[in-house]
Structure 1
Amino acid sequence: MRAVITLLASLCVAVPCLSGDSLTPAGRWSGNAKFTSSVFGADDPVFFGEFDIRVDLTIYGDVAGSAPENQCVFTGKATPVSPGSSVAALALTVSGCANPGYNGRYEGRMTPTSSERANFQVTSVNFDRALAGAARRTSIASSLRR
């Protein structure tokens, strides 16, 4: 067992790893998420939805997840915001969504609040040609549980 822990610790020096303590964001998470969007600071009701999501983070920072009801698939990377931090910076690609307005590249954070709960928030900013180049800000936010 000690050899396995030593091996993991040495791998985490070479590759940024998510914390191995009880507040690690690594693991399987799920919860109900709000998908929202705004243009010119005003909420766009066409892009509002609440969907169950699942998010898996490995200690090496790989992220995979989904919102099955909306057919969204999440892939990307998580890195500690600072050495030894339990807060993970997220860089995700969301694709395959039934509402294509949710597809895109997102950045944000996952912040464990206990060993069983974490806050998840990612945001994408895209320039919408249909709206004369206006910025569309789309967010996915949830309080996840293990």
Structure 2
Amino acid sequence: MKAQSVLEAADVKTIAAAAEAEALQNHWAVTIAVVDAGGHLLHLQRLDGAPPISAHIAPAKAHTAALGRRESKIYEDLINAGRYSFLSAPAIEGMLEGGVPILKDGQCLGAVGVSGVKSSEDAQIARAGIAAIGL
């Protein structure tokens, strides 16, 4: 039997605060979502000025990254390359760049999803959050 690390409330707060700081530093109005390994929402924050739809997209990106244990951009790239069948994949909704898994020792602890600016900037914010816990 394996032991697995899990995100604790303090980790989620640290990730969220660092992601928010990255967004504010760049003057980006986004929504930030943090989920556990099962894709269940642990944190959601829509910054002032972020589009309302981003509150739906950010958790979907995080959910997709957690369940797939890879960045959500991979699915976007597959679809853009012509693998349209991924549009029908069950339980995967956020197939856009901006969902980044939280990985430790080869295990997925959860993910961060961000929506509201360019997809590459969304991913930058997510990675800044994850870096704050040393991963």
Of Structure 1 and Structure 2, the greater strand share is in 1
Q: Considering Cα pairs closer than 8 Å and 6+ residues apart, tell me whether 1 or 2 has the greater RCO.
A: 2
Q: How does the TM-score come out when normalised to structure 1?
A: 0.33
Q: How does the TM-score come out when normalised to structure 2?
A: 0.35
Q: Which has the larger radius of gyration?
A: 1
